[in-house]
Amino acid sequence: MESYLSSVIKQFKYYKSLGDKTIEQFSFRELQKEFAPDSNAISIIVKHLAGNMRSRWTNFLTEDGEKEWRHRDTEFEDTYTSKEELIEHWNKGWQCLFSAIEPLGENDLERIIFIRNQGHTVTEAINRQLAHYSYHVGQIVFLGKLLKGGDWESLSIPKGKSTSYNKEKFSKEKGRRHFTDDL
């Protein structure tokens, strides 16, 4: 189970880095672009993720993950006034998550925590949030690709580069490592 904890921490860091690298490519105005009515701009998705992270991971072992002070509906209102403010909230959300899970030990994983009065093991809660955050970070990346078009700086294996990527990977000795170690 110790490998589970180190793996999920690396995966959360990976998804944060995808969001970071996407956000870096845009101006504040571009981050606020909506493609259709009732769609979410990158800035809105960031606000929702940051709010969710603060709620879920603040005192998560002792308090319900849906905090009374959270106003989820306002997370879908674009109130950021600058890119710096957006990034600050983004980072605060992630810091809340990492501060909560990095100290965990194997004995914590079967503890029961609650989200909206529904009991989860810590492992289940971590998996739930990993899936939720990767879903939304995927939206951020997809919107980024749409906005940048041909100027998009790829965050993974660029089209047409799989052969060279695989050649580099297979040139190394077999060994146990996490897929994010080379990023």
Q: How many CA atoms lie within 13 A of 41 on its CB side?
A: 17
Strand-strand pairing, 118-121 and 112-115:
antiparallel
Distances (CA, A) of 178 to 22, 25, 91, 130, 143: 22, 26, 23, 16, 27
Residues with Cβ within 8 Å of 67's Cβ and at least 6 positions away in sequence, in order, are 54, 55, 58
Residues 144 and 67: their CA atoms lie apart, in Å, by 31
Query: Domain residues of the chain, as ranges?
Result: 2-156
Q: What angle do CA 179, 45, 23 make, to 5 degrees?
A: 60
Read off the pTM: 0.92
* Predicted pLDDT of residue 22: 98
* Predicted pLDDT of residue 26: 97
Distances (CA, A) of 33 to 20, 61, 86: 17, 37, 14
Residues 130 and 9: their CA atoms lie apart, in Å, by 10
Residues 105 and 180: their CA atoms lie apart, in Å, by 22
Buried b / exposed e along 88-107 (16+ C-beta atoms within 10 A): ebbeebbebbbebbeebeee
Q: Pick from 67, 57, 59: which is nearest to 117 by CA?
A: 67
4 token code pair: 């589970």
Low-confidence stretches of the chain (pLDDT < 70) are 1, 182-183
The total of other beta-carbon atoms located within 10 Å of residue 6's CB is 11
2-156 under CATH 1.20.120.450, yes or no: yes
* Predicted pLDDT of residue 1: 60
